[in-house]
Structures are given as structure tokens and as C-alpha cells.
Amino acid sequence: MDLDFTKARLQHHSWRLRLRRHLEANEEINRDEAVSPRECALGKWLYSDGLRKYGEWPEMRNLESVHAEMHGVVERVVRLKRSGSDAEAGMEYQKVLPL
């Protein structure tokens, strides 16, 4: 399974926008896909061919770490939003922007 990094980057930006719409307009979001680092396109590649082929590269381990961190932030955003803590969810969302 090859990964088109340009497409993966666009999908990442799309997810950030969907998360923003979830916060602002209560747009439904698939929680399992949003919070699991294994269910998105990058995660599927990373945990199939990516680490198998390139796992010895420090950049790949860094990518895995940053990717997991991003999904952790998304999980907190979704949890906070669903619990009614909109302001806190918005502050947590700000952490997704540089990732």
C-alpha cells in the first residue's frame, strides 16, 4: 500500500475543517475514525507498510508520535464538545492547528 503524501496532507486539513464544523455547527463526526490513529488514511498506511518498510528511520518514529498526539487532541476535543464544554473544546482545538 503506497501513500500519496499530498493527498494525506489534504485529508489532514479536511479533518481539521470537519472538526471545526463539529465545534461550531454541531456537524456530526465519526468519533471512532477521528480519535483512532489507525483508522485514518495515514494511520492505515503507517501501521501496514509505513513502519514495516521505513520503521528504522527516526523521521518515521517522529511521524508516528506526532500522528498519535494529534488523534489524542482530537479525542479530547470531541469528548469536551459532547460533554457540553464548548469553550474548553475550542481551546483544545487550537492544539490541532500546528500539528
pLDDT value at residue 16: 85
Count of domains for the chain: 1
pLDDT value at residue 86: 94
Low-confidence ranges of the chain (pLDDT < 70): 1, 98-99
- State residue 73 phi and psi, 5-degree precision: -65, -45
Q: Go through 25-50 and write b for each residue having 16 or more CB atoms within 10 A of its CB, e for each that does not.
A: eeeebeeeebbebeebbbbebbeeeb
Is residue 29 situated within a structural domain?
Answer: no
What is the Cα–Cα distance from 41 to 6, expressed in whole angstroms? 12
Domain holding 85, by residue range, is 1-9+34-99
Considering the entire predicted model, what is its pTM? 0.82
Is residue 91 situated within a structural domain?
Answer: yes
pLDDT digits (tens, 9 = 90+) for 11-38: 878 888 889 999 998 888 887 778 888 9
Is residue 23 situated within a structural domain?
Answer: no
pLDDT value at residue 1: 65
pLDDT value at residue 41: 80
